[in-house]
Structure 1
Amino acid sequence: MTNPDEYLRETLRWHFSPATGSPFWLQRAGTLGFDPIADIATFDDLARFPNVAGELRSTRVEDLIPRGYGPRPDVFGVFDSGGTTGAPKRIVLLSDWLEQLLAWSSEQLDRHGVPHGVNWLSVVPSGPHMVGPVIARQAALRGGLTFTVDLDPRWVKRLLAAGDGAQAAAYGEHLVEQVAHILHSQDVGVLMITPPVLERLARRDELVKLVNAKVRAINWVGTQMDPDTRHLYRTEVFPDIVLYSGFGSTMILGNASERPGLTDDDPCVYDPFSPHMSFRVIDPGTGDTVEYGERGQVVMNHVSRSLFLPNNLERDYATRVRGVDGQVGDSVADVAPVATFDDEAVIEGVY
């Protein structure tokens, strides 16, 4: 790939040229107060853009597709954000970006020792959410079939917001029962699951034995896992299984990957797919980047031909970590949600 800043300038020419840009950005260009093609030279300059992610709650999705893809763009799907903080935001996932993302993700899985040629059991949201359909494609490309247990995070968050913890817990047990049936009856090599559901599974000794006998990798996603629980899983509960994590967001059209080679005592560090995805960790009060080792709120950028979404303040706090060599921006560790976001209480639930 070319120099990251050259890549950025090339991508901006694509998104802000009338022949190739999306209606969304072409309409916004005149309101920015600067010329994106002439005035944005580096990734640091992306901080000049407004955070437009909130507009994706009501933007017509066709207006997000760059004109350069022609009259019949190859669209993999239209997907929603989690809806944790009000009405969901909505993006379009184009097939050319999906191919890039899956190739990179597969390389990260290889680096962690996640096997090829095995079936996946995916206990994550499907429906309007991106993660389920994308993981099914990932498993297929790596030579496996995908078993699914559908997970509806919005319903659980609604129950918790109403104070109905008993029904939320019953829903969690309902998920585990479905997981148990598949584990008993099918060959499963990779279990993709959220920490709250994995915690419920780990309470059942017979399922822990079954996972240890069958599963070779556990990929946990969706909500936080505290360092003590992660250490316990890696050293005592699932000691011979690869325990691997991703930090994903619909608004970056993918996920950051857990850094390979971390010890059981290291924090869980996530490195993004640079330069297409990049992070900053800021003090939310001042907007200034915090020092390495300090905590702040995560700002995400997505820069590809399929989507340009800069300067998006996410609902997560994290510790700022120095990125790997050649990476644009920060890596992050010990990710956890903020208490409120967009004037809404943040409720994690099962995802």
Structure 2
Amino acid sequence: MKTNIKFNFGVFLVLLLTLNSCSKEDYALGDLTAPSNIAVKTEVIGQDAAHPNGDGSGSVKISVTGDNALWYKIDYDASTAVDLVNLPNGTTTKKFTTVGVNTYRITVVAYGKGGSSTNVTKEVTVRSDFTVDPAIVTNLTNNSSKSWIVDKSVPGHFATGAFDAESIYPNWWSAGVNQKVGEADCLYSTIFTFSKVVASGTYSLQVATPQGAFTQGGSSTTLPGIPSGGEGCYSYGGGTSSFSFVPASSGAPAIPSKPENSPSTQVSILLAGVNTYIGMGSSQKEYEILVLTPTYMYIRVGATEAGRAWYFKLIPAS
């Protein structure tokens, strides 16, 4: 017994001396220089001498550059709650949807090594003329409040495909009837309640998640408190946010002669904040309405991966 104790103690001393012999440089974190020379460039779509605030689409191209920056996050409107979203490539096109001419203060956070960061702000003034078809508002909210759930009883209630103007259908994979029962029941039990505030003309979405949120973890979603992980149900207490109607960014064409066969309504639901979703919690907040009737809603949302979309079929909750 004594021999074993002496041997183990000797090994401990050797390890301790080895660790102490390592130079401080072996554990250096490296240069933690914060990002610098951060520049935010904005281009208001359709802006010219006759249209100083753009063409009324509310669209603004935003690009960010800087030294020692590894990635960026952006908040599009300092007058609302802080809503920092990833800006992976430093470029995006944002649709500002408040009707009329409005000035927005954009905040960009540039991150460098070791979590160092630099903040910059820039103001942009843009005009939005978009007016949604009243039938869409009525079908979605019943002009007051209306709740929806994912319809597990039909094929394709959850699917995936390309996200562009030509591929308006889930051409990669499509769920069968009851596909996620027992595997991800939260997909079917979550209730999405859309409301219209008549007095102010604004809209809100309340998401009730009795069995958690259906999403992918990590950077694939903006929902707060969701850890890294694959597709499934994550513990989440639900949330409420405002939303607006905007022109669909996909550019999917309408078919005037046969509107019932149009691949899209050309209208999207744009959620504010980070704590709500429809169907699946995504890093994207624009949900394109493909079909909307009083008893059926078919939508798609862009996935984290560029060029990919998730599709969902919903029905009114009983």
TM-score after normalising by structure 2? 0.27
RCO higher in structure (CA 8 A, sep ≥6)? 1
Judging by fraction of residues, say which structure has more helix: 1
Larger proportion of strand:
2
Question: Which has more radius of gyration?
Answer: 2
